[in-house]
Amino acid sequence: MRLADRRIATRFEVLGELWGSVQAAEPLQLRNLGREGALIESVAPLPVGSTHTIRLIRGTNATEVRAVVRHLSPVLLAAGARRYLVGLEFVNVDERAQAWISYMMDQQADRPVPGEA
């Protein structure tokens, strides 16, 4: 008996090409946030024009928004490490997500900016 013969579920051979995709959640650093978009830092270059679901979390508050990558800039770090600054435009933002973004922006507006007196 071959290993493949011991499977419980039936499998079929794919003839030709069959494409798929995988999504993986990876924490990203939020550099800045606006009502219409954000700038994030990523270890992977996200393709310009691609659309992603972004989960914004702060403490116990969280929301999800759809965002389109509008620009990408590589950043070289020490020891040759590379990161990417990714400009996102929010699309089809629902009321709940817009309220969350506004709340976070209001919270930040109350804080002093480092270096400003």
What's the whole-number mean pLDDT along residues 18-39? 85
- pLDDT, position 113: 58
- pLDDT, position 110: 66
**pLDDT grade for 72, boundaries at 50, 70 and 90:** very high
> Does 82 or 13 have the greater pLDDT score?
82
β-bridge mates for residue 63, sequence order:
56
pTM above 0.75, yes or no: no
Strand blocks (E) in 13-98: 29-33, 37-42, 51-58, 61-76, 82-91
As a whole number, the mean pLDDT across the chain is 84
23-109: CATH number? 2.40.10.220
Give me the residue spans of the domains in the chain. Answer: 23-109
